[in-house]
Amino acid sequence: MVEAVQGAGVVVTGAGGGIGAALARRFAAEGARVVVNDLDAGRARAVADEIGGIAVPGDASAIVGPAREALGGTVDVYCANAGVASGGSEAAGEAVWAQAWDVNVMAHVRAAHALLPDWLERGGGRFVSTVSAAGLLTMIGAAPYSVTKHGAYAFAEWLSLTYRHRGIKVHAICPQGVRTDMLDATGSAGDLVLKPTAIEPEDVADALFKGIEEDRFLILPHPEVAGYYQVRAAEPDRWLGNMNHLQQKWEAAG
């Protein structure tokens, strides 16, 4: 058991399946009181019933108040996990870009805005952002997803550097492929780049809890991402060239 989460009031958004459901199950197994949030009320209730949690369905951007009430007044851990895997290029429609920004970035900002006054007053709170390796690197064929996941990572990083001395813990989870419905929705690009090394949602939960125990900000369920990230920073043209080769391979296969 991880002492930091035993008895904690935890909220997991997008928890009706995939990574979110795995996180909710793990927090419950570790002795936390878990609010399961999802737009799909039926899926939220199914997971909540399974783990002895509380279903609070609805838009993740407006969940903090109802979740706090469901937990008896206090949210200790907030997992900003809900996301959309928006594909497309610069030509993707305005509505696609707007949804990606709203769900992948602004939902995190709104949650932090609602949570931080209480956390700063108490001197403690934990914000877990499910980002993606696309937030550190990028993803071919998915400009809205890649750009907004960079934004999600940047916001988590900003929260950590701004408030860590005031007791706020922040974790950014950045996996590559995870065997979920979202991976299936990535189509041929995901088949090429992500599926060969895809892991289970439970592996992501394991990586998070190891990171919590070690008090680490950056959580890499695929350890090889660290090497890619280093090359991207130290040799950007080499990295871009390698990614462009993947892009060409994808185009040729399509």
Closest CA to 131 of 204, 30, 53, 239: 204
Catalytic residue, candidates 78, 145, 153, 163: 145
Cα distance between residue 111 and residue 160, in whole Å: 15
Catalytic (active site) residue 145: yes
Q: Name beta bridge partners: 130.
A: 173
Retrieve residue 108's tokens: 């995190």
Residue that has been written with the tokens 């369920």 in this structure? 221
**Strand arrangement, sheet containing 77-80:** 54-55, 33-36, 9-12, 77-80, 125-130, 168-173, 218-219
Beta carbons of 18 and 180 less than 8 angstroms apart: yes
For the packed helices 94-101 and 143-163, what is the interaxial angle rounded to 10 degrees? 30
| β pairing state of 168-173 and 125-130 | parallel
Question: What is the rounded CA–CA span in Å between residue 47 and residue 30?
Answer: 16
CB 15 within 8 A of CB 47: yes
Q: Please identify which of the residues 149, 153, 163, 169 carries the catalytic annotation.
A: 149
The set of catalytic residues is 145, 149
